[in-house]
Amino acid sequence: MDRLPAQTASATHRVVDAVWRMESAKLIGALTRVTGDVGLAEELAQDALVAALERWPETGVPAKPGAWLMATAKHRAIDVFRRAVRLERTTAELGRELPTAEEPDWAAALDEVVHDDVLGLVFIACHPVLSREARVALTLRMVGGLTTDEIARAFLVAEPTVAQRIVRAKRTLTAARVPFEVPAGPEFAARLSSVLEVIYLVFNEGYAATSGQDWVRPTLCQEAMRLGRILAELTPGESEVHGLVGLMEIQASRLRARIGEDGEPVLLPDQDRGRWDRVLIGRGLAALERAGQCGSGLGPYGLQAAIAACHARAATADATDWVQIAALYEALAELSPSPVVELNRAVAVSRAYGPAAGLELVDALTDVAALRGYHLLPSVRGDLLEQLGRRAEAGREFEHAASLTRNERVQALLRDRAAACGRELGS
């Protein structure tokens, strides 16, 4: 069979990548449930991905690509299992011991549908034997299907560091024989905070992609929300679970309005609020209300959901209660301090009390090591400088911000803003 033209093959590779993003977590989850080895499960899933990259450009994309990947991984898994069984039997015969158990029905085990496979995968990746950084990196890799480069940019750390964390995490889980299960009782509560953090990071990668040609990846947002809703059903009395669900639902309501006709980013003040999903807003507000009814007060996710609710309730951008948002960010900064929270607080303060007040807070963050390489810092600073009429400085900040992001859409937006500053200076 003749190979497809290079252009068609390239398009097929993009399809493979998209399918992998959507199906990899289910694939690895099902394989981990059966093998009990998350490292082996990912290897088998990667084998199926390689097979798709080799075959689909020649044969075309199958009608059910996710099922094709699962079938391919299943066949490879069965081969691995059977080789292991044969080796065990050979070893037993050499020791003059006959095996007493029949070979398990591997195919049936892999065909079994377990709806919590992805959730179980999140919990195993968030096991206490791993460091916090390793838990988050491993889950983003296996659940979100992110590359190590994308994870590194999400964490603002070097890519080799993330790669080492992932490799070591899988080895640690295998050595510790961590069971593939959703924990119960005290262990569930102890691991819940880490799970929530991971789910929200997966959501954020879908809400504002760190690289590539697309600014949003709705499938990642949908998967994160699905996991959040499952957790909310399992832990009805946990305020932060409902807070996270509310936050994600309200933010996801804007997805359609966040991109223009050509895929370009549309910032919050410029969005057509008529395109916001009112159903998701309603669900988010209901989740926020449940978070407040749990009696423990709003935590970091609940406060962020309350901030998102202020935007959702405003009929227009000008009607937004920025004073309330600034106060909520101040409470968030006290409860969960971080440079990113301070940067967001600076934006709220600028909207509530003027760009000069916001710029003062932003300037205090310019030497913070954790924000070096974070494109939103110069982007926010450029915006405030532009509002103050300091267009030459603003243009330089936008150019700097563009050089720091890997997302092509965001790069174009920032460079357009830099060019506009230059045109205004020349007029």
pLDDT digits (tens, 9 = 90+) for 409-419: 999 999 999 99
Name the percent of the chain lying above pLDDT 90. 46
pLDDT band at 426 (very low <50, low <70, confident <90, very high): low
Please state the rounded mean pLDDT for residues 323-331: 98
pLDDT band at 268 (very low <50, low <70, confident <90, very high): very high
> Quick check: 105 pLDDT over 90?
no
Mean pLDDT comparison of 87-96, 153-162, 274-283, highest-scoring range: 274-283
> Quick check: 216 pLDDT over 90?
no
> Quick check: 5 pLDDT over 70?
no
Please state the rounded mean pLDDT for residues 275-304: 96
> Quick check: 102 pLDDT over 50?
no
pLDDT score, position 6: 52
Please state the rounded mean pLDDT for residues 147-153: 82
> Quick check: 392 pLDDT over 60?
yes
Name the percent of the chain lying above pLDDT 70. 89
Query: 426 or 379: whose pLDDT is higher?
Result: 379
pLDDT digits (tens, 9 = 90+) for 167-187: 999 999 988 988 888 888 888
Q: Please tell us whether the domain made up of 1-98 is placed in CATH 1.10.3470.
A: no
Please state the rounded mean pLDDT for residues 214-229: 86
Mean pLDDT comparison of 120-134, 155-169, 343-357, highest-scoring range: 343-357
pLDDT score, position 101: 42
Place of tokens 């009608």: 63
pLDDT digits (tens, 9 = 90+) for 366-390: 999 999 999 999 999 999 999 999 9
Q: Give Cα 386 distance to the centre of its chain.
A: 32
pLDDT band at 85 (very low <50, low <70, confident <90, very high): low
**Contacts of 104 by beta carbon, 8 Å cutoff, 6+ apart:** 81
- Across the chain, what does the average pLDDT equal? 86
> Quick check: 94 pLDDT over 50?
no
288, 271 Cβ separation under 8 angstroms: no
pLDDT score, position 100: 43
Please state the rounded mean pLDDT for residues 178-199: 84
pLDDT score, position 427: 55
Domain positions in the chain? 1-98
pLDDT score, position 84: 59
Please state the rounded mean pLDDT for residues 218-238: 87
Q: What is the chain's alpha carbon radius of gyration, rounded to the nearest angstrom?
A: 24
pLDDT score, position 16: 80
